[in-house]
Structure 1
Amino acid sequence: MTTHKIAVIAGDGIGQEVVPAALECLERIARLHSLDLQFTHFDWGSDYYLRHGRMMPEDGLEQLAQHAAIFLGAVGSPQVSDAESLWGLLIPIRREFQQYINVRPVKTLDGVKSPLASKEPIDILIVRENNEGEYSEIGGRIYRGQPHESAIQETIFTRLGVSRAAHYAASQASSRGRRLTSATKSNGIIHTMPFWDEVVEETARLYPDISLSSELVDALAAHLVLKPWTYDVIVAS
């Protein structure tokens, strides 16, 4: 029997509650399907930062690389700045292991009361590019503490980054309702978002069984409130 090694980082806040309960479910699944799951627990997170001045050890990524998967609960605490908690743990994990897709399913369940007045069933898959774009760390600050202090943050889109996110989203749409919606802001962001639109459209043409629509994020946000049941897969930066 193959042993599947899983690194477990419960992290902060609700992660401390959710992860132990989820592990019980995984252990039950493993027994039902004769899987050998080996969990290694790491106490990294904001409490670790308060004790050691960093979110994980210097060789943390090397330790994680010894596992087949990483089960991460939550990151963030009022005692630690978001810049420290995310860029000290979550973002390095995403970058090192090329976790370039963020998948967020949104689905109403039979028998569970929805906060929405409409009874229309909702089944949306939101796919977000997870490594570049607004997460690019190109930039910096100068003249700190002076009246003319400045901060620069660059948004970087690459053809590789956009196309692989679009491929994943299009393949998911092809196996579901065959409708793909691309979130854009190309009316106001003159370089990166038109590039995003072009690459997403090029990629979607490789999936002739799906339909592609592009919506400005302002309108998309309104439509998600007014008629979320009309969406299938949404891809965004």
Structure 2
Amino acid sequence: MPFTKAQSSEDVKTPTADEWRTFLKFTLNEDDPNDPMPGKISPQSKKTSARLRHRRVIELTQLQLATGLRISEAIGIRWRDVVADENGVVWITVSSTLSKTKIARTVPILVPEVATNLQHRRGLDEEPVIPQPTSQKFWDRSGAGKAVREYYAGLAKTKGFDFLEKNRSHVWRKTLTTATKALLPPHVQAAYFGHSIETSNRSYTASINVRPVISASQNLLNDTE
């Protein structure tokens, strides 16, 4: 049966902060990228190309969990857009051409383990951070989206992550926004997540200090929100 689009917002529940933490820890510590995609048992699922697809979708998922990037942004950034500052915080620049709102922003990776994993596999400046599973070419939105749907459905079926069954990767933006809402003013949230709130017509988040998001995310990571 072919995969369909996610259900309407009325039918889909946004994962809680606890569910976000549990899923993040699973992708970092338990999901072996050398295994077949969860829920896949056919001979084809054991091929090298299929395992590489599993590895790539884990990398994509971790990046979205740790940043709230849209899938189109995550698969469009290049290594030249990823920079570590003097404090070891890794920042990602989403260009105005890549951003859905056409407003560029530079945001920190909120989970140190994800930032470390990303830096360990750093490629050439012009290469995509999340390329196709079997090449260094850009991963098209359709292919990446299908891989995420299969990954989520497989985990819902085999690992008990029921909240993934109907959700798609954009849902982590909602979870992070909800979890940090009480700790951040609206214009900072808008600057970080690239929302279309009419708070400023500046072109770069350099004019808005988004560092408070780092502190707010520590509450989320440490279960103190």
**Pairwise TM-score range, normalised by the shorter structure:** under 0.3
Higher RCO structure, 1 or 2 (CA under 8 Å, sep 6+): 2
- TM-score, structure 2 length as denominator? 0.24
Q: TM-score, normalising length from structure 1?
A: 0.23
Bigger strand share = 1
Q: Which has the higher helix share?
A: 2
